[in-house]
Amino acid sequence: MNILKMKITHLFVALSVLFLGVVSCDDKDKHYDPDTSVISEYTLMDLINQNDDLSVFASMIEAIGYDSVLNSSQSYTVWAPVNDALADVDITDLDQVEEIVNNHIARFVKSASGAVNERVFMNNTKLLTFKGGSGVYYLEDAQLVSLNTVGKNGVLHTINSRVPFFQNIWEYLNTPGLDSIRDYLYSFNKKEFDPSASDEIDINEEGFTVYDSVFIESNEMWYAYFSSTRGIGWINSEDSIYTMIIPSNQAWIEAYDRIFPYFVNNMAQGKDSIQNLNTKYAIVKDLVFRGEVNPNLYGEADSLSSTRFGLFYDPQYLFENAEKIDASNGMIYLQNESLKNKSWESWNPTIKMEAEFSAANRQILNPTQVNTGVTGINYYNDAPEISNGGTFYVEAAANNTNLAPEVTFEIPNTLAGAYDIYCVFAPDILAKPAAPKMGKVRFEIQQKTRRGTDNWLPIASGGGMGGEIIPANNVIDTIQMTKMLVYENFKLPYANYNESENTIRLKVISKLSQGDTNKGFGNRMNIDCIIFEPVH
């Protein structure tokens, strides 16, 4: 979060900018007391003006009106570049001048003495390294040529070269040609007045209260570590290190057109806007990685995880033909072609539903048949082949073993596309070790109609009316795990992504043929999980 100090009169806001959009106030000054051991009659601005080799830097400071700040009582450290280091600067370009000046000034006194190795927040919020010892010191790679000239409001060092200014990843999105991704990510910007942190400081001529006010800037796309948001990382922060693949407008449009059909939905209202928003999120969700990524260090056996948990194997391919750009908080790979991430490693992953953890999305059908039967959740500490160690067990009523138990599992976050669908069963010997039986199952793939009554109807591949699916091998083994292929290349007609209700479910039916009970079969199922695996 960024805290902006502003004055607000009643409900109307007037910005009073000191520099970089931040206004200091008296209440904050008490945190920046100058070093009481410093004794000098000259301010930092006086010291800069007195040094002929700093005349260009002095002109730059005056050009942006910052001389008044360096004449103030607040304490600063200035690393002033000598004239030769600023020979290529256009002093009429005030934006560049402001970048340079604030990249060489920091609050508090930073002396070059003893061993130093410190990350320093500069006035533009950039974190630069001040380091050295034994009389040789550097700000980043710029060497100090004179040290510790003391002023009454801080200390002045001179350096032999200019410290380059790097935008952070969030700032770099303002680069021309990145409008598409910038407009999407910046659309989540919020700035809210924080009354609890604001002080009443005056009454204006109209009788309204004037506040020394705190505003909080936020954006939900920063909050990668909060489950309630879909954030991709603190790419605005100077004290976090990230790597981001940034698509140009051309690459964004290509990705949008390719992904958009996967998110078509059958919502009654707002279907187009939801499809649009889901497509844009799919583009950005796996573009950010923690730390600085060097793709040349990854081999075929390696993997790389995004901040949104997309897992990419042999990840060098993600960065192919991208331009590498240094940022103040990490690395940028600018992609002018197309985004390389494979759909099944990113926005269209395998969906796995654990049967035992699906109470909210699980329904036992025909309750008059099952109420007197046995249902429950089983955990097996000694069966590592079982996913997450648990299953959902159901069997027919003891007084009518011919009745078929049926269970449905709603499947969240499906896309419009093709899936190989599996149902995994644990062997009956785990639940009934004394008398295990084989099982026979059938399935229905059902879709919610969303036509007022919200009926669940069986669908065939492609979305037409369907019926029961009987796999070629529909027998559940008594001793081994059974990963049963329900349907290969089943095409779902609509997406159901990031919605409050699910519209696709799998119905699992234990159904025996006449005479099966005499062949070692029982009407029961020990269901481990459901898998919807996107077709590559």
- 407, 363 in Cβ contact below 8 A? yes
Kindly tell me if the per-residue pLDDT of 168 is higher than 80: yes
Map residue 520 onto helix, strand or coil.
Answer: coil
Binned at pLDDT 50, 70 and 90, residue 263 comes out as very high
Give residue-wise pLDDT tens across range 456-475: 999 999 988 999 999 999 99
Looking at every residue in the chain, the average pLDDT score rounds to 87
Map tokens 């970048």 to a residue.
99
* Nearest-angstrom CA–CA distance, 56 and 54: 6
The amino acid that residue 384 corresponds to is P
- For residues 214 and 89, the model is more confident at 89
How crowded is residue 26: how many other Cβ atoms within 10 Å of its Cβ? 9
How are beta strands 154-159 and 76-81 bridged, if at all? parallel
Map tokens 């950039």 to a residue.
126
User: What does the block give as tokens for 132?
Assistant: 């050295």
Sheet holding 288-290, edge to edge: 288-290, 242-247, 330-335, 323-327
Kindly tell me if the per-residue pLDDT of 30 is higher than 60: no
How crowded is residue 337: how many other Cβ atoms within 10 Å of its Cβ? 13
Question: What is the average per-residue pLDDT within 416-425?
Answer: 98
To the nearest 10°, report the CA torsion of 247, 253, 259, 260. Answer: 140
Please report the sign of the dihedral spanned by the C-alpha atoms of residue 528, residue 530, residue 521, residue 475.
negative
- 356, 388 in Cβ contact below 8 A? yes
Residues 6+ apart with CB under 8 A from 56: 83, 86, 87, 89, 91
Residues 6+ apart with CB under 8 A from 442: 468, 469, 470, 474, 509, 511
User: What does the block give as tokens for 312?
Assistant: 């990419």
Map residue 273 onto helix, strand or coil.
Answer: helix
Map residue 172 onto helix, strand or coil.
Answer: helix
What does the pLDDT read at residue 298?
94
Q: Give the CA count within 13 Å in the CB-facing half-sphere of 356.
A: 17
What does the pLDDT read at residue 359?
76
Percent of the chain past pLDDT 70, that is, above it, reads 86
What does the pLDDT read at residue 482?
97
Give me the helices (H) in 163-224, please.
169-172, 179-186
What does the pLDDT read at residue 357?
86
What does the pLDDT read at residue 374?
62
Give residue-wise pLDDT tens across range 198-212: 666 667 777 776 666
Kindly tell me if the per-residue pLDDT of 17 is higher than 80: no
* Nearest-angstrom CA–CA distance, 341 and 265: 23
- 19, 69 in Cβ contact below 8 A? yes
Kindly tell me if the per-residue pLDDT of 23 is higher than 50: no
Kindly tell me if the per-residue pLDDT of 103 is higher than 80: yes
Binned at pLDDT 50, 70 and 90, residue 2 comes out as very low
* Nearest-angstrom CA–CA distance, 317 and 111: 46
Give residue-wise pLDDT tens across range 187-246: 999 987 766 666 666 677 777 766 666 678 889 999 887 656 789 999 999 989 999 999
Binned at pLDDT 50, 70 and 90, residue 269 comes out as confident
Question: What is the average per-residue pLDDT within 85-101?
Answer: 95
Q: Which of 18, 39, 50, 30 is nearest to 154 (CA)?
A: 39
Question: What is the average per-residue pLDDT within 485-494?
Answer: 97
Question: What is the average per-residue pLDDT within 159-178?
Answer: 96
Binned at pLDDT 50, 70 and 90, residue 387 comes out as very high
Give me the helices (H) in 308-387, please.
367-370
Map tokens 């229905």 to a residue.
444
The amino acid that residue 188 corresponds to is F
Q: What is the DSSP letter of 463?
A: S
What does the pLDDT read at residue 227?
57
Give CA separation, 394 vs 96, 352, 384, 481, 502, in Å.
70, 20, 21, 17, 23
Q: DSSP per residue over 79-147, as a string?
A: EEEPGGGGTT--TT-HHHHHHHHHTSEEES-----SSEEEEEEBTTS-EEEEEEETTEEEETTEEEEEE
How crowded is residue 51: how many other Cβ atoms within 10 Å of its Cβ? 17
* Nearest-angstrom CA–CA distance, 147 and 153: 16
Q: Which of 297, 214, 524 is nearest to 391 (CA)?
A: 524
- 386, 426 in Cβ contact below 8 A? yes
- 127, 16 in Cβ contact below 8 A? no
* Nearest-angstrom CA–CA distance, 247 and 103: 28
Lowest mean pLDDT among 238-252, 361-375, 384-398, 517-531: 361-375
Sheet holding 116-121, edge to edge: 105-107, 76-81, 154-159, 142-151, 136-139, 127-133, 116-121
Lowest mean pLDDT among 34-43, 102-111, 201-210: 34-43
Kindly tell me if the per-residue pLDDT of 11 is higher than 60: no
What does the pLDDT read at residue 195?
66
* Nearest-angstrom CA–CA distance, 459 and 507: 11
